Amino acid sequence: MKQAVIGLAAIGLAGCATYGADAAPGQATAPPATEAMMCNAESAQAHIGHIATEAGGAAILKESGARTLRWGPPRSAWTMDYRQDRVNVQYDDQMKIIAITCG
């Protein structure tokens, strides 16, 4: 029983570790902040009319600056969740890209 109490106390103290510049050597430091990624669909509009391919999707993702890409097949309905780091690529029955938007 005594060992269980000591073990629980040690776990509780682990949450008191300091982070950042004030951390002493050997203590945990916070990971670097990740850069916020925002979608800019305007920079990828040149892909409209092209055939939807994996390579084209990778180029659209890179050019838009988005973190994720969502393909929209013909007659698909988008979900209502908006994500500023996502680019949406919609294509028609012939696999031609018809729209590139953010969200």
pLDDT of residue 27 exceeding 70, the answer is no
Section 31-47 average pLDDT? 79
- Among 75, 76, 37, 69, residue whose Cα is nearest residue 52: 69
CATH code assigned at 65: 3.30.10.10
Section 67-80 average pLDDT? 87
Tell me the residue range of the domain where 97 lies: 41-102
Per the domain annotation, does 83 fall within a domain?
yes
Domain count, the chain: 1
Residue 102 has which token pair? 């953010």
Rounded-to-integer distance, Cα 52 and Cα 101, Å:
15
pLDDT of residue 80: 77
pLDDT of residue 8 exceeding 60, the answer is no
Per the domain annotation, does 88 fall within a domain?
yes
